[in-house]
Structure 1
Amino acid sequence: MRGAGRTVPALGLGIVLLVAGCRGVTGEEADPALARSLPIAAPAPPGGSAAPAWPEDSAAAASRGDSTGGSTASGTPGRQKKGAGAASRSRWPAPLPGRPGPAEPVALVVPRAGVNAPITWIGPARDGVLDAPPLWRADVVGWDRSGPAPGEDGPAVVVGHLDTRTGPAVFARLPGVARGDAVAVVRSDGTVVVFRVSSIERARKDAFPVSRVYRVRPYPTIRLVTCGGRYDRERQSYEDNLIVYGDFAAWYRLSDFPGG
């Protein structure tokens, strides 16, 4: 995305993104050690299928006193010695059981694309316009807070700039991601939710795939949206949008990663 005040694709019926101000940065970058430690490839989803077959519910496990995964009855991961079971660049630690549930997103990490960005919140739409992060903070991404949070059932929509007039922005390398790649969200409850890239789509801005982006699944999904295609210098806008679709793969304690 480039050009203050320019509108970009529809994100929902009648909704467009406006490159303008946002509510203020609420998140922060993930610890660099954590970002470096995350494998590029996502873990296999539960059941080894595209549509996750949920493992047992964390609350049920806790009610039996099952310590596997270390969850409490509320589903919040229990405390563990920092760094225990830590991941390396080639492997993931033991995942938590059950569904992640709601929690405020803090940072987005996409290892292949070199993304380690604070998450701010945008929306709800006002008069059909959804704010994008401001160009002067092109290093952050915006989560559409009118929809599910990353880790809740349904589509969490996250938007970011491709570049600005002065250089690359947060999603400059997003076009390089591939199916099976990891997309990780660090959350305020001390967990990391990981999604597996299922598909990448480029669509014209005047034909934004609303039904696909906002399709509700009975498990958490994520959509990363930025600009793409040819840059129209006369209109000062890209012609297309790049959309990265991801499905829930696993979630973890932040403390199980280096820097967590």
Structure 2
Amino acid sequence: MLRLSMKSLALGSMVALSTATTAFAQIPVLQNLHLTQVPSFSCGPHTQTYVVKPLDNRQGRGIRCVKLSEGRPGTTIPKLAWYGEGNWGGATYRHVGQAIYRGSNLVGFASDIHGNGEDINNNFPGNLKVQILNGSTIRVTGAWNEEWQLVQATNYKPLPRPKTCGGYFDEYKVSDLAGNRNGEGLRCVLRVGPNNTTWFGNGNWEGSTYSHIGTRSFNGSGAGDICGKGFGPICNTFGWGSLKLTPVTGGFDVTGAWSEKWR
């Protein structure tokens, strides 16, 4: 009986080993596994998202959040305004710009925001040639040499939120006009091009952060929030003429859809 038991044990072990080998053989071996990163950055629904491509041999990448306006030849109303950021050759930048018709040509004005860790700090007082090639491509030449391509989203990690504008802007700190809301903010108003026309703003109201680009049309000023990751969860749009900027000593009172004090 002992000999029979030993044979049974050996036979059972062989069956178990055979079963285990079959089970292991059914486990797939993962080779050359590539994970594709899903595009995660967008400027949101109220400004258009463009990625930047150099027209020369520079290395770098960036984004442009573009707000279209109603400018046309013979007016000083912007055709478009934008907030941009990125890096060239590893050197970081961010800027605000606007494009206005002079004759039949779109002339671009832009200034770099600086003082928040950005490397590049330049000013472009009308030395940019802006061409809207089609519904999805904008080319900027002159002092720049780049092309913007419209996308729904892209792989991009935004720079940290700015806290100061730098020397090329009129800079204002923001609080509630009536003093009822808790919050603070920053407004960087372009000096190049038509005065007091285009600005970038960010801040928080009651602890909820926001960023926006504002500009002017024939009915008055409006703005669109940049709702992308890193820019803040508040995501609204403010139509042309919904914002009234009234000059006062030291800045502006902003009324209409907003109730803000810029000083």
Q: TM-score of the superposition, structure 1-length normalised?
A: 0.23
Which structure: greater strand fraction? 2
More contact order relative to length (CA 8 Å, sep ≥ 6) = 1
